[in-house]
Amino acid sequence: MDFSLSTEEREVRDWVRTFVQRELMPLEPEVLRRERRNEPGLTSDELAALQLKAKESGFWGVQTPEEYGGMGLSAVMTALLEAELGRTFVPFRFGGAADNILFHANDEQKERYLLPTIAGERKSCFAITEPGAGSDAKNIRTSARKDGADWIINGEKTFITGGNEADFAMVFAVTDPAKGAAGGVTCFLVDRDMGWKSEPIDTMGEWGPASLVFDEVRVPESQILGEEGRGFALAMQWIGRGRYLLPARAIGSCERLISMAIEHANTRETFGAPIATRQAIQWMIADSGVELEALRWLVLHAAWQVDSGMDSRHAQSIAKLYGGIKANEIVDRVLQIHGGMGYTRELPIERWYRELRLLRIYEGTDEIQRRTIARNLLKGHVKIGGALG
Ligand SMILES: Cc1cc2nc3c(=O)[nH]c(=O)nc-3n(C[C@H](O)[C@H](O)[C@H](O)COP(=O)(O)OP(=O)(O)OC[C@H]3O[C@@H](n4cnc5c(N)ncnc54)[C@H](O)[C@@H]3O)c2cc1C
């Protein structure tokens, strides 16, 4: 068993680490100031300029296949890279990416949606959640009825990331109520100018999702992504594209947070000695270090299963569940170690505290991950001995 990185993995990891240190971390004070004023941390022009800078070194379309101009990196490499990006709260992501399900587009749709999205000219959003259907996504009510050669969409979507900025939405609607999710849900590509409206939703995080309203929105048959009735499988493919990626980012955040806690514990004195000499503080540091280490290997193991072509869903659910819970416990301890300062807005800890909370909710809540993990174990879909048998 070899836990070391290959030369290529190390080089990619080191390049991103340097990029984060040189280009992103210096922006942190300004990002915080802007966010405190309720402005975006980075303007879209600033983000585009940073993405271009990364592109000059070849970092573009991290998981986009090479035939589309991307890097086509493995899951393990992507996880390593996400962990590096997680070391800063500057809201950066590499350019050249597109939703995995857009690769199911036909040639004409690829020209209009996939390629402009990869080029950064168009923005997409993924819209399945509704006011009455979140965890229970099979219960969606948004409908599409046939009218001649067109479809008429009616319904409301909620909590849609990027929904207020998107040029087009990938919308999941019921086209055959009798079949429901088993063959009666279809995915439509719907341009904003086809008539849907969006409204931002204020959240405790620094970026807000949106609600989308479809009121008799008419779309031609050619807007169906994939096949009529096969939309639910596409939705599951989008959600399952990389559950390991969310906790991967949390690895970097936890590394940075624990480093802050160590530095503070070694320098802050109370009752004549650094707080690092107190067992209460040492145990918080120890538990955080152990959990971070466990998280790192759960994430990399799930990514390795993806690269090996194995059914990685169980491993990914474990990594997502553990990452959400432990990252929240770690940021809470780090805040505690900083005392009153941890609670202020002078330090970014409270910002991470709010951001990491989302990890336990979106793309499958803790409870839904546990439901999946328990079902796999109780029904014998996976062995209790793990991937080694
Ligand atoms: C910031 C943000 C961004 C998001 N981005 C998107 C997006 O881009 N696109 C999109 O379509 N959706 C998006 N979502 C929606 C997100 O996926 C849902 O909020 C999530 O799946 C939970 O659904 P819900 O909010 O309806 O909660 P509910 O499903 O109503 O659940 C409420 C509570 O009950 C628990 N629960 C539910 N069922 C069970 C069960 N069977 N057993 C035990 N407990 C259960 C849940 O875990 C939760 O604690 C986003 C949400 C947020 C907050």
What CATH number corresponds to the domain at position 283?
1.20.140.10
Q: Hey, what are 3's tokens?
A: 């836990």
Provide the 10 A C-beta neighbour count for residue 222: 12
Question: Does residue 195 form part of some domain?
Answer: yes
Average pLDDT, the chain: 96
pLDDT tens string 144-161? 999 999 999 999 999 999
Q: What CATH number does the domain containing 13 carry?
A: 1.10.540.10
Query: 205 and 72, same structural domain?
Result: no
**CA-162 nearest atom, ligand 1:** 8
Q: Does the beta carbon of 116 lie inside 6 Å of ligand 1?
A: no
Does 136 lie in the same domain as 93? no
Same domain for 382 and 252: yes
The CATH code of the domain that includes 152 is 2.40.110.10
In this structure, is residue 217 part of a structural domain?
yes
Q: Is the CB of 160 under 6 A from ligand 1?
A: yes
**Long-range contacts of range 11-19, CB-CB < 8 Å, 24 or more positions apart?**
12/73, 12/77, 12/80, 12/81, 13/80, 13/81, 13/84, 15/57, 15/59, 16/59, 16/80, 16/81, 16/84, 16/85, 17/84, 17/87, 19/54, 19/57, 19/59
Q: Are residues 136 and 95 in the same domain?
A: no
Q: Is residue 33 part of a domain?
A: yes
Domain match, 230 and 256 both = no
Number of domain units in the chain: 3
Residues 231 and 253 in one domain: no
Tell me the two tokens of residue 141: 């009510």
Residue 70 CA: distances (Å) to CA of 97, 115, 224, 225: 8, 11, 26, 22
For residues 200 and 162, the answer to whether their CB atoms sit within 8 Å is: no
Examine residue 110 and state whether it is found in any structural domain, yes or no: no
**Which of 123, 128, 135 for a ligand 1 pocket mutation test, highest count of atoms within 8 Å of Cβ?**
135
**In which residue are the tokens 């990389």 written?**
242
Q: What is the pLDDT along the chain (389 residues), one digit of tens a residue?
A: 899 999 999 999 999 999 999 999 999 999 999 999 999 999 999 999 999 999 999 999 999 999 999 999 999 999 999 999 999 999 999 999 999 999 999 999 999 999 999 999 999 999 999 999 999 999 999 999 999 999 999 999 999 999 999 999 999 999 999 999 999 999 999 999 999 999 999 999 988 899 999 999 999 999 999 999 999 999 999 998 889 999 999 999 999 999 999 999 999 999 999 999 999 999 999 999 999 999 999 999 999 999 999 999 999 999 999 999 999 999 999 999 999 999 999 999 999 999 999 999 999 999 999 999 999 999 999 988 888 87
Task: Choose the final residue of a domain: 217, 238, 259.
Answer: 238
Same domain, 166 and 219: yes
Residue 341 lies in a domain: yes
Give this prediction's pTM. 0.95
Please name the residue whose Cα sits nearest to atom 41 of ligand 1.
Answer: 368
Q: Is residue 247 part of a domain?
A: yes
Q: Is the CB of residue 129 below 6 angstroms from any atom belonging to ligand 1? A: yes
Same domain, 305 and 256: yes
Q: Indicate the top mutation candidate among 239, 361, 371 to test ligand 1's pocket, ranked by most ligand atoms within 8 A of CB.
A: 361
Are residues 271 and 370 both part of a single domain? yes
Residue nearest to atom 44 of ligand 1 (CA): 367
Residue 117 included in any domain: no
Q: Is 363 a catalytic residue?
A: yes
Asked if residues 230 and 183 have their Cβ atoms less than 8 Å apart, the reply is yes
Q: Tell me if 300 sits within 8 A of 76, measured CB to CB.
A: yes
Domain residues for the domain of 193 are 123-238
CB 212 within 8 A of CB 183: no
Domain boundary among 215, 238, 261: 238
Judgement on whether residues 154 and 165 belong to the same structural domain of the protein: yes
Cβ–ligand 1 distance for 226 under 6 Å, the answer no
Q: Are residues 286 and 378 in the same domain?
A: yes
236 C-beta closer than 6 A to ligand 1: no
- Give me the pLDDT at residue 194, please: 97
Domain boundary among 192, 216, 238: 238
Structure confidence by residue, pLDDT tens digits, 189-202: 999 999 999 999 99
191: in domain:
yes
pLDDT in tens, 339-389: 999 999 999 999 999 999 999 999 999 999 999 999 999 999 998 888 887
249/380 same-domain check: yes
